[in-house]
Structures are given as structure tokens and as C-alpha cells.
Structure 1
């Protein structure tokens, strides 16, 4: 009898929602639960049923129904809550297909339960929705799950010594066509396969140019927030509203895609009556790093008076995803037609921001530049472990099961230790067999030397025992928890980078490549070959590698402070002082100078950029990522002819034009990095006005005017000594010369940077100074005569008379490897390949 009454009330709930909306989609399942309440109530035109009447759907060890004593300021569904002191479960019979799962939380004090301190997890049979979750204020969490069975279980699991609660929940069917087409990948060609299998969490649903849309004005009971709080420059847009003009073209967007209140309003760039204006409007959204995101853009041309008047570009995180978008051509020459576009971020987000920009077309000219955006939805996608949250998830295993698991873990651990010992013996035997008759290694593969720091006769390669060994795949999996997605700290062209820890506690960065990529294989070999040749305090250190089971894995020491780029922009890290920035530039220049001069042939890095300069816990800089590096020309040659590779914005234009690579190509890229350090902005930013998009071109204009102080990072205003800035600017200007012959050597750059540092803050050399000998500012007294390349008419190489070896090498860098890393424990010299962009 109770079950029949419950089904009847849910039928009434569905009908009441339909009557309220008067049109639209009727969900097959429409479970609306008012948790902890003895009565039903109506909220936003929908009837929420008491979970006392829905008790046959709830399994819980305790019956705790909480009611607030005085909460007149919150809606009725938040006046009560169901409290769970043990693992509890709501079970629903459902039709297969995609559903909204909405969980409502609003904490309050009930007896001894202070809900703001509750900590718990929520999961379905297939996905973890919340882990280690704590609600500090009223909020609603919305998920979209594609259910493949006729049963849905929502399990609430309290954390240790805590409890769980929920005020209301919804399980509502959505049209199968709502999310059905494989979306494009933002920033590159191709589509994302398998979106239908993804669980999604709504992070943002925004109505551009319009007010808040409530559930009773949306056929799927969604909430759309205004865009004003996300706009970076509010004065760059104007609001347009023409709701009555919206047309739903058959085969495209529908009322369920987004309501008229969304398509009928927009934010349009405010170009006024200036036909030459060129700027972008940008919205900034905070997201959780470590996940991919599904983005749905809603468009409706309510600003044009005729067809083909509106052409604009769409950007995601400074990447152009649509160029010259003409909505009327997409919609069969329909004006004011509702349209949407779906994209997925290419890889798991490294930063915690998503920026969306619109701007007028630069190739198709119209009377007045225009660009619009009507609505935007941003949804988090589950990771490879079917999680939408990366906290600790506690399963409902019994104590006896947990004891069995502990025993299993101990057994597996002991077995792995035995296997590792056996593998070590096999590895030694294998390496002995891997040598040819002459005692040298096979040419088909070059494993790292195990000669404990000695030099092999055939290659003059000096390595140390700390980095010269293969690491078993089992050990790497243990270090990274089997490549747990929550440990991803970076993604680059080669692959993902994971944070891990070896058995001895050493923190490591594990770079896992794509074994099917031929370019990845080439980079993998190059990285090992290069890093096994060099040991220097300003070059990243390689611990080992793994090539088992077609894997390409490189293991580096972990670098505590990540990339230089992350300290300049795109994160909430503390601002670097000018002295710190100069010291980082000096350290990086030392590493590159060593590459260019430290062997019989120079080594050209070929991918110098701020993302490849890493910082340890003391902000000491190390150059990283040698996957594109190339051995330089012989003494009787001027260049190496090779295909152009590098990163856009840093690429030497002469190398690009002539495909002739020299050390001066690194010098050009380093010059771009120096401007990046000074201005603290991306080298290419299409969200800015056209003349500011390219950092090198923009800053160089001000340098040539003698007004470089106009473009420096705002946090440095008034804090740079004028002579130091002048010397820095002159150095960058020479680095960015059009022709390599006019650029300085890295030795020249290094000396001028050290000069700029002394102009900023003179160093007093004290014999009793206890500072770390790795500090970059410990440069001693400068010689009376500087190698100022501005006086060098040829602009080419100039000698640096420091060590007297004629190579321009410093005494400290010309010493033995052991001297070079003295006073630095290997655990201090961490390195991490955090890659925020591909090549």
C-alpha cells in the first residue's frame, strides 16, 4: 500500500512539473526526495516527496531525521536533512539512459551533529561522485550519469569518526539526445570518442548577458547563472536581449538544449561605432586541475539585421577553436537560430583555470567588428578511475574483508620484493650480455652506463651511478600508484607526468610516453642520450628510465617549485621579485651556456621556454626537456640543416625561414623567455588586442622607444633600478636580432645578466658568508672589463676570459662533475617536467 502511495505521489510530481512548464520534455523517471522531512513540499514548481514515504528506497543503519530550529532565510527543502552515521543507500528503479543526479546540501546544527564538519563520500555503482566532501554552506551538486542498468544505487559513506547528510536529492531522466554527439577537441583536429560513457559534473552553467534562470523557467529544471562575475573586463561587452526573436531550427538546438531566456540574451563585444576596433572579451572560470572538461557553447545571432553580418573567433585557454564563425551559414541561412557547439579539453587540466574568449574575425571584414556568446556550460569529466572527485574514497568493505585485503597486500609486497631482487640479478646479467664482442653496447639501443661515474672509451660519456640504471616497471607503478590520474602534475607532447615516490622515499617526476608515437620514441632516446652525457647543477637530472612492455618512461628527480611559467602567470603562486627573476635567468643561462660549450660539439636545446625551466625549493633554475635537442655543427660548419621543431612564440625566425639550426636559435628563444620574465604574460595571447598578441614584437616596440618600463609586470613597478632594466632590455634586444650572427653567445648573455643583477643589488663578498654555495647571486667580484656585446661590431661570439680555456667556460663549471654538485644532496635537486602546452 505504501509503495502504491509513493508511486502515485511521484506521478503527481511529474504532472505538476508539466503543468508548471506548460510544454517541454516529460521525464520517464522523476524522483524528487525531501530528505529528513515527514511531509511533502513544493519547491520551484515541483513536488518533493518526504523520504519517510520513500523509506522502501532507503537502507540505513540509523533513523536520524534532522530539522532546523530557525532557518527562515533558506528554501523549504533545506529546512530538514537526513543524517547517516553509517554506510547508507538510496535505491531507485530507473529506465536506462542519461539522468540528472542532484544532491542538495545546506548544513545546520542538529543536537550533537554540526553538519559543517561532516565528511563523507557519495557514489553510484559505477562512479565516485564525492570524496572527502564537506559542505560549508548551501549548495547543489549536479551530475549527469548514463545509466546502463535498471537500478541506481546512491551510497553515502561517512569518513572515519564522522557522518554524512543530505537535504534533498533528485534522480531525473534527461533526453538521450541532450549529450549524444562526440564533441570536437579544443585546440586540435579530431573528436573525443566515448562521451556517452562519461559521467559529468556541472561546474558552471552561465547565461551570457541575461539574468539568473531558475528551474521553473527551464524544461529540464536547470539553473543558469549570470555571466557578470566571470567577465575579466566588464566594460568590453554590452548586453543584448531579444528573447522573442529566437528560432529553434529542426535538427539543431531545442528547448531542452537551452531555454529561450538563454538563447534570447547575449554578451556582445562593445566595439561602439569604431570599425577598426579589435579586442576580445574574456570570461575566467576556476576549475579543479587533473580532469578533462566538456564545454558546450550556445549561440544565437540576435544582433545582426541581415545574414552574413557576423563573423567572429572563439578561443579556449588562448587556443583558437573556431575561426570566422558565421552562424547563419551553419543554420541554413536562418537568422536568430539557436545553435550550440561542444568541445572537450585536449588533456587533463594542469592549471585550475579555464578562460573563454570571443573576438571579431581578422580575416573577414564587416562594417563593425562583432562577436557574441549567449550561454556556456562547463562540465567536469570523470577520470580513468571513474572518479569525479580525487579525495580518499572509503568503500563499504566489512572488517573481515579489510583484514583479508591487508593480508593480500602484505603477501603481494613480499612477492614483489623477491621479484625485484631476482629482476636485479637478471638485469646485471642482461647488461653484460648486451655488449658486443668489443665490450661496447649494441647500437640498436643505448642503455645508460653503469660504470659508477667513469667514462666509456667509445663515447666520452660521463654518468653517475645515481642516474644510470633501468627501473623496473613494477617499481614505477608502485611509485605512482599504478599511474593514478590524481597524481598527474603535467601533460606535454610526449605524454603525462606523474608525481611519485620510490621505495627509499625519493620524490620523483615520472614522464610516461605514448609507445605508439614515432616522434615520442625519438624524443625518448634523445632525452636519455643527452641527459646521460651531462651533469650540471642547472640541468635537470635523470634518475632512470623504463622500456618494458613497450613503455617509454623517464624518471626525474622532483622539482619542488615546478615551472618558471607557473610563477609568472596562470596560477596563484607568490610573485617573484626582480632579483629572484634575474637569478633564475642567470641559472638558466648557465645551463644553456654549458650545453653550448661543454663538449667537443655544442648541444642545441631547440625548445627553450619558461615551461622547460624548473625551480627547486630554493628557486634555483634548471633547464629541462631535451627531447628535441640536437648536436651542433662541427668546427668547420656554421649550422645544422634540420626540420624545424620547437614551440610557437619562441621559435627563431631565421631557423624557421632557412631550416638551419645554430646555438643562436636557443639565444633567440631565451630572449623571448627574458621578456616573459619581465612582463609576466604569455608569449602568444590571442585574447589581447592585435598589436599585443605576440609578446616579443610588442615588448620590442617599447624597448626600441626606450620605454620598456611601460610594459613590465605591474608587481615590479618602481622596484627595478633603471640601469638594471636598461642592461636587461639591451640584452633581450640583441637576443632577438633577426639574424643569428647579430645575436650574442649564451656566455655574453650570462655576463650581462650578472651585470644587471649587480646593478640592481650589488653583492658584497664575505668570506664568512654561510649561504648555500648554489645560490646564483654568489658571483663574486666582476672583472674590471665586461664583455659588453653592444660594443662588439660583429655582434657574434666574443670570448669570456674567466677560466683561460678559450671556451668561455666558468671555473666552477669547468670543474669535475663531483665538484659541480658538491654541497647539494640529490633529494634537494628535484626536477619535474610540468608541461602546459605541446610543441
Structure 2
């Protein structure tokens, strides 16, 4: 966000040429003008939400020009069972900038809440100040406690040993933010000060790459972040008074692995901010104007400058690199490499090109890491490998932030759900039970009414479909071969309309020998368009109850999406009372047919992981790619298609629904889906969220691992339902006992453990406890990395670290009731599968889902 200057400031800063006056008056004018301009420059970002609280203080406290309000009354923000206010003398405080905030504290003997009204949704700073001191019988150094919001566990089992500030960046989407401070066990909690402050929307965006692959990463904007390090390379501490967002930047000396061969450079006055790039909100000029650089004395010098940071294993990290070439005298003189651990994230980095051929221009780039396996993270800069380039490299600033895990926690062991009280869980269960009973009664009434109306409608109209378009003509074209563009109504104006004759020709007049699938909507034919494009033609059956609604939904959904992991809609036809959908042809059919029933070669574990990752990317795009999430509602292995390279694409959007409005948590709708994959919470409450897709995808993960149907009535009673059966083994820590025999001895234990944990979290009973699809994707990518990791002295083949032999299965599972009346369900004929014979739908009977 660029700082906007008042027009008067711009006027006086330019010092107009016509200003001809006496020297004394001119000097006074310049002096006043300079002060006004400096005031304009320091104005910075003006937050909509700006809560500054000095905990336990009897009066307001001013620090760096900012006023921290006393929370002594406690009535406005704080709900606490008792007031325990502590204070100490300034002599015991060693911290400088915030010393007055550390003089008082509030002690909590029970869980207490600060509630802040949020005027602007979006990212907010949450800063927690701690300074332990002795107050009466309370030795704050021994206090152990946690701090959480409604969505995230910020601190767990935390103990403060010295003066510190814990800083978090959280995306707040509700009208209030509740921060709970809760003692652990018989201990107590304390807090010296707290900030909740709005952050500019442009500060964190999704213009991020994964360090290990340099591929784009989506979803950072929704992540909560904890500041691990914010470093000013080559310069002194930048205090919060000199930062538009009240951040503190520390010197880099303590992080340097070796201090030899480096030099500090400074040229703050030269720093320029580009249009549409870095701004003072990204980092102040005092950061961009200093740098640590190589101090090469010879053209043959070849070494890296490296900084090392302590991190927590198991978490991903967001890193922002700040660059500004304040050293070069001319363009294209500085080329260097940038490393994040062993990954070269900036090969032959050229700031001149990136800053549109401008020197001393601020520039930054963002990366995320896969979950760390080490407790150290290294950042390095080093000489370029290009010929005839002098060895040099610079780094001006660096920010490292921990990303929350799939449980919304920064502690690893805890999640938001586990931090809730047992009373709340009991209340939730009771409420859900009562709600489910009411929902069932209402569902029966709605079902009866809808059924009567549908029967009346069928009696009053012919049993043929009415075409979507209202003009009777052709609309969008496939190329320009078939028709001319005209306006159409409703969904048809979003896709491509293909004449019936062209579809007939492509499918060899709907040759029965070209049938590759039969479903509830109708038959699916392979086909070839005039230009040689292979397609799958899905022709609706007029007698099917799966008709107009699904046809329209499929067109509306797929015509909006273009993603490599979503099957592409090529066109549709609604002439001659036909309803035909034309898709790209997927050479390798369904994932299901490769797992069982299709007689195809078994997939390797790496191939299965890559397929799951591809499908997760497609679903993540549906959930986050638009202003409103799109919920697939029928995620299953038969709706995951594979192209000639086994790349996964999600298909069949006939049941898809747009997600809830911003101020809502769910969409209330009739239950639809495939039996065995259906979210139990959605089934009970008829409330649909993105987490319903996450549950279904969790079932797919176990299906991929075990290579068996999700519901198989021919198996012993305890094994009928795959999800229940697999979860029993997962909770016992023996998931390796039930994997596909083709995978025995071929999965690394760490990879299987991460995969099993991911599937388990997806199958949580309540949607709030399930991770978002972005976290699922992240964990699957990590499972793949663990599988491919090369362990010294442990060759991949014949490794003793692979999963061992299967053991007999235990028969201790409850029966699964497969009879559900009054709910539209996929038929159990779904249990078989062949290569392309069930590509877009698995219904053999004509009844709808």
C-alpha cells in the first residue's frame, strides 16, 4: 500500500521556482516545509481496527506515540473471573523500547477472554507482550499457559523466561475476535500487553512459490502466521516507531554462520519504491537501504554468505526476501544466487531486470517451504555461475514466519478442537443430536412436498427436456466450424454450444461399440471431433431423473473453471430435446479402475501419491479459487480421471453447489452424494460445507492405500465399510497391516504415517475438526517427499525401512446399515469398475443420486 501524500505536502516539497523572497523568510519556509513533509512521510498505514491494551495497568500508557489503554476495569474487552493486577519497578526491566508496558501485568487464575469488535475483515496483527517478574506469591517465570483464538492455538504450554513479544498475523473473517488466555493444569497465566491491529490487504498475497519446486503456491492468504525472525541485514535495529506497521527489525549478526568474507553497506537515501511493487508497508527504507554483501577480494572467490535460524520441525514456513541494489554503479553489474536450504530459489538473480532497469529500487519475493524435517533453516547468497561476472551477492532484509498446521495450531501437539472444554464438546453433541432429529422430521416433510410437486409437473408436461437456450438458435462455437455466435440465456451463455449433427458425427452416430460408460444420467461414448480432438460424449437419457438440474449445473460450473486438475468441458448440445455434454477424453480412465476391478496394472505408491496430490489441487482450487467456494459434493475415486500421463483431474460436477455467503457457515440443502463417501455431519444436519468434500477425499485416500471398494457387502461384517475399518487400524498405529498387497515392502514408514494421519484428520466426525483442502494438499506433498527421501546407507530397494508383511485382520467392527430411505444416493452398483466404463457417473439404474 503506497503512502498517499496531501497535495500541500507535494507542493511544498517541490519548492516552486517562483518563490522569490528574502533569504531569512526562505530559510524559515524551508524549515517548516521539511517538518511538514516529514510528518507526511511518517503517517504510514492507518488501521481500521487498532486495539492497544496495557494489561493490569491502572492508567493508559503511551509508547512510541501510541496509546495503550488500561484494562483495569475489564468491562470493555475482558471477561475474567477475578482481577489480579501485578506491577514491578522499572529497575528490574532490561528491555528498552517497551519498558513501560512490562511494568504491569494481569494474572489469570482461570480461562479468560478478550473480545474485540472487528470492523474490517482481513489480516490482523496479534501481538502478545510477556515479561515475567515476581509478584506476591506469583512467580511468573514458572507460569505455564496457552493462548488461542476461535480458529487457532497461538501458544500452548507456554512459559516466558524473559521479556518478549509474540507476534502473529491472522486472517479474521468474523465480526469479532475472541482471544482466550488459559492456565495449564494447576498453573496460572499472565499477560503484560496485547495488540490487535489491522494489516493492509496487500501485505500478504498469494504471489508465492514453493521453495523446493519453484511452483506457484495458493492459500497463504488464508494461513495464520507466527513471526520467527525479522532481520535487517547489514544495519542496526529498526524499532517499531520507524516502521509503518510497527514491526521491529533486528540486526543479522547473531544469525550469520560465519562473519568472515562479509561486509555491511548502507545508502538509505538512495532507496526508491516502484509503482505497483514494494512499498514502505512491505519494509521501510532503513531496511532496503542497508545490506550484507559478499566481501570478495579476488575474481576467483567462490563462497556463500549463510544465515541460520532455529525452527520447529513439522511446520511449513513463509519467507520474504528483501533486495535493493544500493551498491552497483551501473545496471546489470550484480548477478548472484539465492538459496533456501539446498534449493536455489534465485538462480543468477538479476535485480536490474526485475526492477525495470532501475538501481536502488526496492524488490521482494516470497516463498513457502514444505514442513521442515530439521530444526535449522538456512538462507544463503552466493556468486553467480554466469561467465565473466564478478563474485558478489547482497541481501537487505529477511522475514521468516511459521505457518499453522492442519489443526490450526502453532504448537504441533494441539489443535483448536483439542483446546475446547469437555463441556463444550458435550453441548455440541447434544445440540447436534437434537438438531438431527428436527432435521429428519423437516426433511421428510420437504421430501413429501417436493415429490408431490414433481409428480404434478410430470403429469402436466411431456417427459422430454426443454432446451436451456431460449432463442432456438446456435450460440457459442467450437472454433468457428459449427455455428455463429449469438446470445443465449442462463447457463448456456457460459459454455460452447455444439450442433447435434457434429456430436453425432464425432460419436459415429452414437455407436454402441463406442460406449465407455453407463450411468444414471445416460451413456458415455468416446468420440473424435473433426480436428482430431478425442472427446468423451455424455448423452442424457430422457427417462432419467438426473436431468435438467445436473445438466445446467455441469455447464455452469465447468464453463467457469480452467485448471489442469479439473476435467475440461469442451461443449454441450441441447438441440432436438437432447442434453449432451462433451468433455476432454481421459486416456487412463478412472482412478478407481486402476485400484480394483479393472484388471489394470497396479499403480506404484509414488504414482498413487501424485494422483492424490493432483486431485487435492483440483479440489483446493474449487474451494478457494473464487469469491465463493464451490463444493463438489460427489468426491470419489470414480470421479478422479487420469490422462495419458496419469495426471489426475476431478470430474462430474452435476451435484456441485456454491458455498455459503460470507456471513454464513454452511449451505442448507438436501443430502446428495455417494454412499460410503458421504460426510456423516452433512447427512445428519443437511448442512453442506467445503469440509464435506474433505471427508469424502479422506475416504478416497484410504481407498487408494487399501485398493478395495469403500462399501463391500460381500466382506465380513466388520470390514464392509472401508472408512470405519481403516480408522480402526489407524488409531491402533497399525495401518500398514491392511495396505494393498502390491504395496507391501514399498512404502517408507514416515510416508505411510503422514498419509495415514492426513486421511484420519479428513475423516473427523465434525467438519470444524477437519483440515482445509490446502492443508491436505500440503501434507500429501510432504508424504511424497518422505517417500522419495534418500536415506544414507538405506537404498530404496530392499530397504528394511519399508512397510513389512500384512498380518491377519481382526474382526471387531460394527455392521454398516446400507439402507437409507428418503435420501438421494448413488446406487451400490458403483462397486465395480473398468477403465473408462464409469468415467462420469457410476449409476446403472435410472434413478437419480
TM-score, scaled to structure 1: 0.49
TM-score, scaled to structure 2: 0.49
